[in-house]
A and B are shown apart, each in its own frame.
Chain A
Amino acid sequence: MLPNTLGELELGVLEALWQEADLDAKAICQRIPAIRQPSLSTVQSTLERLHRKELVSRTKSGHAYTYAPRVSRSNLLGRLMGDIIHLLHDGKLETILSSFVTVAADLDDSSLADLEALIARKKQEKALA
């Protein structure tokens, strides 16, 4: 439904990698805030998932892998917003979120010009009143 949606831990891992790339799982684990600090094996499986989703790249370094993000924060947000626009288009989010901008969708040029003329006329009327 939301192809680019990530879990809290996946986001936490990405956040750690955005702050400093080329880290191994142990270093990432230490950089995740203490309140939700997961075990090393949980971080490893999260990294595996992120790798499968092509959100991180990895390089073999001795016995372990080091990881780097393949998407930036704004890139990920852009993807998420793309999902939202698609779902709004399909009417699948209408009960969850209301949007000002996406409903302002395509009109043809002549309709736009008509609306512009209407607004201008109203402005003129207000100025004369």
Chain B
Amino acid sequence: MMINSVGTFASIWLALWLALSVLFVLVYPLLRPALLNLHPRHGSTLLLAYWVLPFAASLLSTLILFMPPAETLLVEAHCHEDCASHVPLIDSAVLAWFGIVLGAVVVLGLVWRFVATLHRSRQLHAQFDFLGRRRGAWYEMESDCPLVFTLGWWRPRIYLSSGLRAACSEQDLDIILQHERAHQERRDNLRLLVARLCCAILPAPLAQRVLSDLQVVTEQACDFRAAERCGEVAVAETLLKIKRLLLQRPASLPQDAMAFAERDVEARIKALLVASSRVTLQGWQLLALLVLGVALLGAMVGPLHHGSEWVIDALGAHATLPH
């Protein structure tokens, strides 16, 4: 019975995660204009929530489905062979094992991806900490290559090359560091990691496409943070200046490496120049969205219970596990 329960749990969770992910991808074009019109601080948070939701909602609602007290509250009473409270259950060892193996593969895949990325991150940290020189809140790296980045998840650090530092004015440097500090405070690398893991059930090219907006809005959120201190026009000018600097890059830098995100810069500069037109959400609106999300999650459990029973019936493998 334990095998059947775990197999059913894994099957329902994965099927629901996939179904919700596909649904969210299909609905996204309708919501996209409104989300991208928000202030990027809110837009990035809501976009992250949007792409995390299929994973979180599928996992939580499946957990609730298998939790007797919550399930009894959220699923209307109905009868099969008897009218006792029950959870849907696959009564086929083959299907149950299939669910377990599939679930294990997905969970191990996620853990593997996380550990591999963590390892790479640590390697880079150790290397740059060793080779760089600490300058207060950031590290300087002696290199002509014009590069600045924020590395790490929980306690990210800022690394800036001496080549970039030499080419920038004090104000440019201030803007760049403000931007990177915003990444640091918002823990954007961690946010992107979470989003990527939660979209892992989608095919890689599709996941890449749906997450590209999140990346651009995240950059915009940091641009806007820098603009609060230095002004939108100044930040736009610095972006353009850095762009020009890259055009005069040292020959040793790979040509193709510089040509991967031209729309990002254009979108970021344009966003800065119309910053005042962005909609800022009020606290109560964010709270209302949260309440709506919780209510939808609760409302999902009933249909999920009946839907699962219907699918299991259709597979000819139905049994019910009384509480």
Q: Which residues of A contact B (CB under 8 A)?
A: 1-2, 5-6, 8, 11, 15, 73-74, 76-78, 80-82, 84-86, 88-89, 91, 93-107, 111-112, 115-116, 118-119, 122-123, 126
Nearest residue, chain A, Cβ from B243: A104
Docked pose: A47 CA to B243 CA in angstroms: 40
Report yes or no: B252 in contact with A82, Cβ–Cβ below 8 A.
Answer: yes
Q: How far is the CA of A78 from the CA of B254 in the complex (A)?
A: 12
A96 touching B131, Cβ below 8 Å: no
CB of B141 within 8 A of chain A?
Answer: yes
From known contacts A115-B266, A119-B269, A123-B233, infer whether A100 and B141 are also in contact, taking CB-CB under 8 Å: no
Q: Using known A-B contacts A96-B117, A106-B247, A119-B237, determine if residue A73 contacts B142 with beta carbons closer than 8 Å.
A: yes
Please tell me if the beta carbons of B176 and A100 are within 8 angstroms of each other in the complex.
Answer: yes
Chain A's closest residue to B177 (CB) is A100
CB pair A80–B257 under 8 Å, yes or no, is no
Residue contacts A-B, CB under 8 angstroms, 24 given: A1-B120, A5-B123, A11-B127, A11-B130, A74-B142, A74-B143, A77-B143, A84-B124, A86-B254, A86-B257, A96-B117, A96-B189, A97-B124, A97-B149, A97-B152, A98-B180, A100-B180, A101-B148, A104-B239, A105-B261, A106-B246, A107-B266, A119-B273, A122-B232
Complex formed: what's the CA distance from A89 to B117 in Å? 16
Interface size class of B (residues with CB under 8 A): 35 or more
Contact B240 A95 (CB under 8 A): no
Encode contact with A along B101-144: 1 for CB under 8 Å, 0 otherwise: 00000000000000001001101101110111000000001111
Q: CB distance A104 to B246 under 8 Å?
A: yes
Residues in chain B near residue A86, CB distance under 8 A: 254, 257
Q: Encode B220-247 as 1/0 by CB contact (under 8 A) with A.
A: 0010000000001100110110111111
* Chain B residues whose C-beta falls within 8 Å of the C-beta of A123 in the assembled complex: 233
Please report the C-alpha to C-alpha distance between residue A112 and residue B123 in the assembled complex, in whole angstroms: 37
A121–B248 Cα distance when bound, in Å, is 26
Candidate in A5, A15, A80 with the most chain B CB atoms within 10 angstroms: A80
Q: Are A97 and B243 in contact (CB under 8 A)?
A: no
Q: For A111, give the chain B residue with the smallest CB separation.
A: B266
Q: Which of B141, B146, B150, B219 is A77 in contact with, Cβ under 8 Å? A: B141
Residue of A nearest to B208 (CB): A91
Q: Which of B131, B161, B243, B269 contacts A118 (CB 8 A)?
A: B269
* Separation of A84 and B147 alpha carbons in the complex (Å): 10
Note all chain A residues with C-beta closer than 8 A to B144. Answer: 74, 78
Closest chain-B Cβ to A94's Cβ sits at a distance in Å of 6
With both chains docked as a complex, state the minimum distance between the C-beta of A119 and any C-beta of chain B, in angstroms.
5
Tell whether, in the assembled complex, residue A119 and residue B233 are in contact, meaning their CB atoms are under 8 Å apart.
yes
5 smallest A-B Cβ distances: which pairs?
A95-B193, A99-B149, A85-B257, A77-B143, A97-B151
